[in-house]
Structure 1
Amino acid sequence: MTTILVTGGTGVLGRLVTERLRADGHEVRVLSRHAQPYAVDLREGGSGLDAALAGVDTVVHCASTPRGGDERAAANLIEAARRAGTGHLVYISIVGVDRVPFGYYKSKLAVERLVEQSGLGWTTLRATQFHDLLVQLFQGLAKPPVMLLPAGVSDQPIEVAEVAGRLAELAVGAPAGRVPDMGGPEVRSLDSLARAYLSATGRRRPLVRVPLWGTAYRAFREGGHLTPEPAVGKGTFEEYLERRFGGPGRLGG
C-alpha cells in the first residue's frame, strides 16, 4: 500500500483521484486550504505542509487556480517534498501550455519546469479542458440575451473522471516524465458545443461570433490547445450534459 498526498483533493479532479486511489486500497491524504487535518495554503507553506508530507511516497499535485500563485505554491510543495524524502511527484497540466501564450497557461508551464527541475522523480500529464469548465463558461456567456463567442475557436473537452483514472494509474507507477497528452473524443467548434449546452438547459440564445485579437487568441484559433491524435477520451460533451441536466444534450448544429 502506498501513502499518497493529493493536493487540491476537494476539487473537481482531486476528489475523483482521491476516491479512485482509496478504492484501490491506498492510504490517501487530502490537502486543501480547508480540509482537516491537512488544511494548508500551499502559497504560504509552513509546518502544516511538512506534517502533511511526512511519510508520503507520492504527491499528486492537482491544486491550481487562474487567480495566481501556482508557481509559489509549487515551489513550497517541492521544497517540502524534498525534506520529506518523497519519491514521486505527479503533476496535472494543460494541453498547449507551451503553444498558447495565455496567462494561466504560462503559469502552468512554469510549474512544469519547476517539477522537472525539482530533483524528485516526476510525471507530468497534460489534458484538454474538462466538460464542467465549458459549462461554467457557457453559463456566464448565456446570461445576456445574446451569446457572444470567440470566432473560429474549437475545443476538445474531456471527461474529468477519465483524467482522474489516468492520474491514479500514474501515481502508483514509477516516475515517467512527460507522458502522452489526454484529449477528449471530439474536436468541436465552440458554436456546436454552445448549442448543445443551450439545448440541454432549455435556453434560447442567438449566437454571435466575435473576432478577437492578440497572440493568445490566434494560438487558440490555430488549435494550439488541442491534441486530436490520439484523442483517447471516450465520454462526449452530450453525455456529460445529459448526466448533469437530465436532458438529451442534443447537438444544435
Structure 2
Amino acid sequence: MTTILVTGGTGTLGRLVAERLRADGHEVRVLSRHSRPYAVDLREGGTALDDAVAGVDAVVHCASTPRGGDEQAAAHLIAAARRPGVGHLVYISIVGVDRVPFGYYRTKLAVERLVEESGLGWTILRTTQFHDLPVTLFRTLARLPVLPLPKGVPDQPIEVAEVADRLAELAVGAPAGRVPEMGGPEVRTLDSLARSYLRATGKRRRVVRIPLWGATYRAFRAGGHLTPHAVGKGTFEEYLAHAEGRG
C-alpha cells in the first residue's frame, strides 16, 4: 500500500484526488490549514509539515491561492520532502502559464520551476481551468443589471473530477516530468458559456461584451490558455445540470 500526502486536500480538486486514492486502497494524508492531524499552513512550514511528509511515498501538491504565497509554500514543501527523501512530487499547474502574463499564472510557472529544480522525482500536469471558475465569475457578475464580459475571449473548461482521476493515476506511477496537458472538450467564447449559465439558472441578463486592453487581455484573447489536448469529456452544460440541479 502506498502512502500519499495531498496538499489542499479539502479543496475542490484535492478532496477528489484524496477520494480516488483511498478508493484504490492507498493510505492518504490530507494536508490543509484546518484539517487535523495534518493542519499546516504551507506558507509557514514548521515541524507539523515535517510530520506530514514523514514516511510518505508521494506528494500531490494541489494547494494554491491567487491571493499570494504559493512560491513560499512550495519552497517549504520541497524542503520538507527532501529531508526524508520523498520519491515523487506531483504538481498541478495551468495551461498557458508560460504564455499569458497574468500574475497568478506567473506564480504557477515559478512554482513549476521550483519543482523541476527540487532534486526530487517530479511530475507536472497542466490543465485548463475547471468548470466552476466561469460559473463563479458569472454568478458574481449576474448581480448587476447586465452581465459584462471581456470581448473575444475563448475558454476551454474541464471537469475537475477528470483531472482528479489523472492526478491519482500519476501519483501512484513513477515520476514522469512534464506530462501531456489536459483540456476540456470544447473551446467556447465566454459569452456563449454565460448564456448557458443564464439559461440553467433562469436568470435574465443582457450579456455585454467589453473590449479591454493590455498584454494579458491580448494573450487570453489569442487563446494562450487553450490546449489542443482536448481530452476532457464532461461538457459545461453537463456541469451546470449537476451544479444547478437542472436537466
Global fold match (TM > 0.5): yes
* Equivalent pairs, count: 247
2:162 is aligned with 1:156? no
Q: For the residues of structure 1 that align with 2:193 and 2:209, how far apart are their CA atoms?
A: 13
Residue of structure 2 equivalent to 1:88: 88
- Secondary structure (helix, strand or coil) at the match of 1:104 reads helix
Residue of structure 2 equivalent to 1:57: 57
Residue of structure 1 equivalent to 2:235: 236
Structure 1 vs Structure 2 CA RMSD: 0.5
Question: What is the CA distance between 1:133 and its match in structure 2?
Answer: 1.1
Q: For the residues of structure 2 that align with 1:5 and 1:84, how far apart are their CA atoms?
A: 13
- Secondary structure (helix, strand or coil) at the match of 2:77 reads helix
Question: What is the CA distance between 1:206 and its match in structure 2?
Answer: 0.3
Q: For the residues of structure 1 that align with 2:135 and 2:34, how far apart are their CA atoms?
A: 25
- Secondary structure (helix, strand or coil) at the match of 2:216 reads helix
Residue of structure 2 equivalent to 1:36: 36
Residue of structure 2 equivalent to 1:166: 166
2:32 is aligned with 1:15? no
Aligned partner letter, 2:125 = L
Q: For the residues of structure 2 that align with 1:55 and 1:230, how far apart are their CA atoms?
A: 35
Query: CA deviation digits over 1:75-110, x for unaligned, max 9?
Result: 000000001210100000000000000000000000
Q: For the residues of structure 1 that align with 2:229 and 2:99, how far apart are their CA atoms?
A: 18
Query: CA deviation digits over 1:151-185, x for unaligned, max 9?
Result: 00010000000000000000000000000000000
Question: What is the CA distance between 1:141 and its match in structure 2?
Answer: 1.1
Question: What is the CA distance between 1:230 and its match in structure 2?
Answer: 2.5
Q: For the residues of structure 2 that align with 1:218 and 1:141, how far apart are their CA atoms?
A: 22
Aligned partner letter, 2:235 = T
Question: What is the CA distance between 1:127 and its match in structure 2?
Answer: 0.4
- Provide TM-score, normalisation by structure 1: 0.97
Residues 50 and 80, structure 2, Cα contact 8 Å, conserved in 1:
yes
Residue of structure 2 equivalent to 1:251: none
Residue of structure 2 equivalent to 1:247: 246
Structure 2 unmatched ranges of 5 or more: none
- Secondary structure (helix, strand or coil) at the match of 1:148 reads strand
Question: What is the CA distance between 1:247 and its match in structure 2?
Answer: 2.0
Question: What is the CA distance between 1:221 and its match in structure 2?
Answer: 0.3
- Secondary structure (helix, strand or coil) at the match of 2:96 reads coil
| 1:101-112 alignment, distance < 5 Å | 101-112=101-112
Q: For the residues of structure 1 that align with 2:25 and 2:229, how far apart are their CA atoms?
A: 31
Residue of structure 2 equivalent to 1:139: 139
- Secondary structure (helix, strand or coil) at the match of 1:208 reads strand
Deviating 4+ runs (over 6 angstroms): none
Q: For the residues of structure 2 that align with 1:213 and 1:33, how far apart are their CA atoms?
A: 37
- Secondary structure (helix, strand or coil) at the match of 2:74 reads helix
- Secondary structure (helix, strand or coil) at the match of 1:6 reads strand
